[in-house]
């Protein structure tokens, strides 16, 4: 619990300049839109400037009751940056941030725990443009029966994500590894920004098959849409070798190849 509040405190400090970046719009789609059979690879757009979008996608070892001693993980890109503020030592910042075109995006997480070990799970997404921040959506999440990759989709009834604005999300999990001890809180956090595709990309997406849409989203830096499209294909065609290869390639491009063989919980 102490580590949790330390992380929260650090996040608050690092995001003091977030207001300057909540409408940050990176230069997107400079690459030609192509449809080919090359391995899927995510081409990351430049992350928000300064200290915006600091987060934690997970990666520390699980404490005793995870699958294979693995940790809670968010399936999201990370950016490691070193900042050198005036009159202070250099600060290393991990940014967890990605783009979506969806008004109600979907987020994916690897949960390494058995259902019996999970006391509770909660997903929260906030608009931190102004202070105090506004919670857009907060909901309990049903734990998977066994360790695996789960999705959390924003319901259509929630406030739609606005184009150009950056939103802060959390997945919080209370794990009860030892019945003799209180449940332990672990969490991952990151950011999502909605963008509009340009007319060329929008037209290509309309004409593309679902497999081709994964490549289009990935090569144009739209992470959440690429991942969701690839995950849906994995659920629909779990034994299709090309679908499995694209899923593995996409995860590998952001350093998550160790999760490629984990089951997806529908």
- 8 Å CB contact between 123 and 169: yes
Element housing 230 (H / E): helix 223-236
Are 102 and 213 part of one and the same domain?
no
Q: What's the pLDDT at 25?
A: 62
Are 223 and 177 part of one and the same domain?
no
Are 184 and 209 part of one and the same domain?
no
Are 108 and 223 part of one and the same domain?
no
State which of 150, 180, 196 marks the end of a domain: 196
Q: What pTM, to 2 d.p., does this model score?
A: 0.85
User: pLDDT class for 26, splitting at 50, 70, 90?
Assistant: low
Are 4 and 69 part of one and the same domain?
yes
Whether the predicted pLDDT of 226 surpasses 70: yes
Are 223 and 172 part of one and the same domain?
no
Rounded distance between C-alpha atoms, residue 128 and residue 15, angstroms: 9
State which of 139, 161, 196 marks the end of a domain: 196
Instruction: Please report, for the domain that includes residue 173, its CATH number.
Output: 2.60.40.1930
Query: Residue 10: inside a domain, yes or no?
Result: yes
Are 234 and 147 part of one and the same domain?
no
Locate tokens 């144009």: which residue? 220
Q: What's the pLDDT at 38?
A: 77
Are 137 and 171 part of one and the same domain?
yes
Rounded distance between C-alpha atoms, residue 124 and residue 27, angstroms: 28
Are 146 and 180 part of one and the same domain?
yes
The CA distances from residue 183 to 12, 63, 255, in Å, are 25, 12, 30
State which of 196, 217, 243 marks the end of a domain: 196
Are 216 and 238 part of one and the same domain?
yes
- Name the β-bridge partners of 109: 74, 150
What average pLDDT does this structure show over 134-146? 96
DSSP state of 94: E
Whether the predicted pLDDT of 1 surpasses 70: no
Query: Residue 84: inside a domain, yes or no?
Result: yes
Counted domains in the chain: 2
Are 181 and 128 part of one and the same domain?
yes
User: How are strands ordered across the β-sheet holding 148-153?
Assistant: 73-74, 106-111, 148-153
The domain containing residue 220 runs over which residues?
200-261
Are 65 and 177 part of one and the same domain?
yes
Rounded distance between C-alpha atoms, residue 193 and residue 57, angstroms: 16
User: pLDDT class for 131, splitting at 50, 70, 90?
Assistant: confident
């Amino acid at each position: 619990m102490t580590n949790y509040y330390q992380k929260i405190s650090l996040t608050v400090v690092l995001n003091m300049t977030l207001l300057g970046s909540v409408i940050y719009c990176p230069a997107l789609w400079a690459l030609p839109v192509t449809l080919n059979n090359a391995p899927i690879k995510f081409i990351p757009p430049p992350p928000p400037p300064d200290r915006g979008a600091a987060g934690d996608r997970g990666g520390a070892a699980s404490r005793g009751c995870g699958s294979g001693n693995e940790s809670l993980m968010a399936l999201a890109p990370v950016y490691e940056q070193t900042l050198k503020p005036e009159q202070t030592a250099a600060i290393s910042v991990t940014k967890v941030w990605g783009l979506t075109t969806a008004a109600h995006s979907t987020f994916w997480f690897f949960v390494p725990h058995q259902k019996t070990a999970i006391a509770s799970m909660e997903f929260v997404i906030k608009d931190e443009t102004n202070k105090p921040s506004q919670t857009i959506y907060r909901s309990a999440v049903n734990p998977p029966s066994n360790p695996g990759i789960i999705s959390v989709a924003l319901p259509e009834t929630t406030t739609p994500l606005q184009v150009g604005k950056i939103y802060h999300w959390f997945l919080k999990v209370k794990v009860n590894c030892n019945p003799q001890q209180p449940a332990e809180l672990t969490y991952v956090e990151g950011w999502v920004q909605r963008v509009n595709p340009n007319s060329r990309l929008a037209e290509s997406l309309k004409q593309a098959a679902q497999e081709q849409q994964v490549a289009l989203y990935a090569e144009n830096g739209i992470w959440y849409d690429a991942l969701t499209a690839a995950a849906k294909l994995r659920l629909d065609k779990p034994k299709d070798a090309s679908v499995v290869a694209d899923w593995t390639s996409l995860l590998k491009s952001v350093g998550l190849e160790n999760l490629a063989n984990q089951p997806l919980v529908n």
